[in-house]
Structure 1
C-alpha cells in the first residue's frame, strides 16, 4: 500500500532508499470499509490521509440539515480536516469512505518528525498544499462565474471517470445544487446525443 505513496512523493521530490525506509516505517496503512468514518464532528483530527485506493469524502451538515461535501479524495490525493489537525480543536466535519478504501495515515507528531528526518518531505507537502489551495480557489471562481450547468459540465470534462464512481446526490452536494437539478442536466445531455 505504501508503494503508491512513495511513487507519488517521488514525482515531486526524490527520496533516497534510506528516506524511503524512514517514511514507510513511520506511516500507518489502514483498510477502510465503505461508509466507515475516520473522523466525526467534535473529534480532533489527528492525521492526514493519503488515499492509496478507493474514494473518501469530507463533509459537514449545514444549517438546513443537509450534507455539504467540501472535498473528495481519490487515488493519490490527500484528505483531512487541516483546521482541526493544525489547531488541535474539535472538527466540524465527517471524513467517510465512499468505497472500500486503503489509506495511509500520518499523524501530526509523526509528520513533524518526518520533516526533521526527511527534509524533502516539507517541499513535497508544500507543493501538494499549493496545488490543493489553487484547486480550492478555482472552485470558488467556478461558483462565482459559472452557472450550475456550466459548473457540472466543466467538472465532468475534468473528471469523467470520477463522476461515474460517486453517487449523484454526493456530486450535487459538492457542486452546490440539488440531485434533482443534476438529474435534469444529465437527462438533457442524454437527449442531445
Structure 2
C-alpha cells in the first residue's frame, strides 16, 4: 500500500531502522495526531508537561531554555524529517524546562504518551526504533557539548553549516547566535569573515 505525504515521510523515516508489515504501518499511523502550528506559535512552554513526541513534516522549530536574564539558549532546530520534543518531560510527566516554538508555519505528527505505550504493547519492535532514536539524540548531544568546550565559535559555526545545510538559511542570525552561545554581533562578524574566505 502506498502512503500519501506526510505519512510516507514518517514511515520512510522509521523504515531506515526497522521493517514494518503493512498492518503495522497502518496501526502506527492510526495512533498519530496531525498538528499544525503558525509561525511564532508554541508547541510547548516551560512549566507545561510534554504530551507528545513530534515528527516534523513541514516547517522549522526551535527548542530552547531561558536563562535568569531572559536570554534564550537554543538546544536544537528541527525541520522536515526530524523528531523533536522534550523526552524527559514526556517520559516522567514532570514539567518541562523547554520552549518549542515554530519559526515557520509548521505541520507535525505527534504521538501521545498513551498511544506510545500502546504502540510498544502492540508492536514491540518499535522499542528498538525509539531506542535507536534516543541513542542518536544522546550521541548528538554529547558531540555538541564537546564542541562547545573544544571548538572556537567560528569552528562551531562551520560545523553547523556543514552538518545542517538545510537549516542554516532558514534561521535568523540571532537564533543561530543563541544556538552557538555567542552574541548576535559576534555572529555577524563570524559570518562576514567566513563569507570573505
CA RMSD, Structure 1 to Structure 2 (Å): 1.1
Partners of 1:14 and 1:53 in 2: CA distance: 25
1:126 Cα offset (Å): 0.7
- Runs of 4+ residues over 2 Å off in structure 1: none
1:61 offset after TM fit, Å?
A: 1.0
Aligned residue runs from structure 1 range 37-48, under 5 A = 37-48=42-53
CA contact (8 A) 1:2 1:29 kept: no
Is 2:101 the counterpart of 1:101?
A: no
Which of 180, 183, 190 aligns to 2:188? It is 183
Residues 85-137 of structure 1, C-alpha deviation per residue, up to 9 Å, x if partnerless? 11111112111111111110101111010011111211111111111111110
Q: List runs of 5+ in structure 1 lacking aligned partners.
A: none
In 1: Cα distance, 2:137 partner to 2:98 partner: 18
- Stretches of structure 2 that go unaligned for 5 or more consecutive residues are 1-5
TM-score, length-scaled by structure 1: 0.96
Shift of 1:160: 2.2
State the SS of the aligned residue for 1:165. coil
Cα deviation code 1:44-66 (max 9, x no counterpart): 11110011111111111111210
Residue of structure 2 in register with 1:153 after alignment:
158
2:15 is the alignment partner of 1:16: no
Quote the offset at 1:23 in angstroms: 0.5
Using structure 2 for the length normalisation, give the TM-score: 0.94
CA distance in 2, matches of 1:63, 1:14: 46
